[in-house]
Structure 1
Amino acid sequence: MTAPQNSIALSPSAAARVAWIAQKQGKPAVLRLSVEGGGCSGFQYRYGLAEGINADDTVTETDGVQLVVDAVSLDLVAGCVVDYVENLGGTAFKVENPNAVAGCGCGSSFAV
C-alpha cells in the first residue's frame, strides 16, 4: 500500500486495530499521528486517539477510521502509510515513511 506524495494513508489492518481500541475506550475511531524531536534517530512518531480534528489537520479515512496529521508533522510524513503488524517480535503500529533516510532498530524514530 502506498500513499500519494502529499497525503497519508492508513492500512486496513491499522484501521481495524484503531477501531477495536477506540471501541474498548469508548472514543471516536480517529488516530492522530504526530512527529516530535527526539528518539535515537532525530524524530519520533507519536500516536494517540484524537478527540477531534483541527482545522489545519490532514485527514484520510479507511474503513470508517480516520487518520489525522497536523500541518507541521505532515512535512515529515507526507506520503506515509500507517500499518499495524503482528509478528513473533510483537504487535505494533508501523509507519512506512518515504521521507525517512535512516531509522532506529525499534522503528519508532527516524531521520530525514
Structure 2
Amino acid sequence: MITITDRAAQEAVRILGEQGKPTAMVRVWIAGAGCGGFQYGLGIDEKEPGEGDQVFETEGMRLVVDPESFAHLDGSTLAWVDDADNQGFNIENPNPAPECGSSCCGEEHGHEGECGDAGCCG
C-alpha cells in the first residue's frame, strides 16, 4: 500500500485542475536506483490503469503505480513538502535501495526509458 497525505492529495487535485485534467491520475514509478538510493518519476496519466497496476485514492486524487515499481514502493508515503528549501511532492520510502553493484540497470520499467537512463550505471 502507498499512503497519500491529505496535503499531497489536495495539491495533486489542485494541479490537475489547473492543467485542465481534473479526472486524470498521478502516476509514480521507479526511474532509477543505485548507490544513492531510488530515483522517482511522477507525472499525469490520463490512460486507464494497465494490467497489474495498483491504484490508490485519497481526497479525490488517484495514484497509479506499475507492478515493478510497486514492489519497491510498497509501504511508502507520498507527501507534499513546502518549506524554505523545497516545494513539491516527496516520496518517503522505507524500503532499502539496491546495494552498489546490484542496481536495476537495463531493466525496463515501461516508462520514458530504462532504469539506466537515470544514472544508476555509473
Structure 2 letter corresponding to 1:100: P
Does the 8 A contact of 1:23 with 1:29 survive in 2? no
Task: Summarize the alignment of residues 72-111 of structure 1 with structure 2, pairs less than 5 Å apart.
Answer: 72-100=68-96
Instruction: Tell me whether 49-58 or 30-39 shows the greater mean CA deviation.
Output: 30-39
TM-score normalised according to structure 2 size: 0.71
Determine if the alignment matches structure 1 residue 25 to structure 2 residue 19.
Answer: yes
Instruction: Give, in angstroms, the shift of residue 10 of structure 1.
Output: 1.1
Instruction: Give, in angstroms, the shift of residue 19 of structure 1.
Output: 0.4
Please list every run of 5 or more consecutive structure 2 residues that lacks an aligned counterpart in the other structure.
Answer: 99-117
Q: How many residues align?
A: 98
Runs of 4+ that moved beyond 3 A:
none
TM-score normalised according to structure 1 size: 0.77
CA deviations on 1:24-54 (whole Å, 9 max, x unpaired) are: 1111241111002257715310000111221
Overall identity of the aligned pairs, in %:
36
Determine if the alignment matches structure 1 residue 37 to structure 2 residue 32.
Answer: yes
Please list every run of 5 or more consecutive structure 1 residues that lacks an aligned counterpart in the other structure.
Answer: 1-6, 103-108
Instruction: Give, in angstroms, the shift of residue 68 of structure 1.
Output: 0.8
Structure 1 letter corresponding to 2:93: N
Q: In the alignment, which of 44, 48, 65 is matched to residue 43 of structure 2?
A: 48
Determine if the alignment matches structure 1 residue 15 to structure 2 residue 9.
Answer: yes
Does the 8 A contact of 1:59 with 1:66 survive in 2? yes
CA deviations on 1:41-99 (whole Å, 9 max, x unpaired) are: 15310000111221211111001111111000011111111000100113021111110
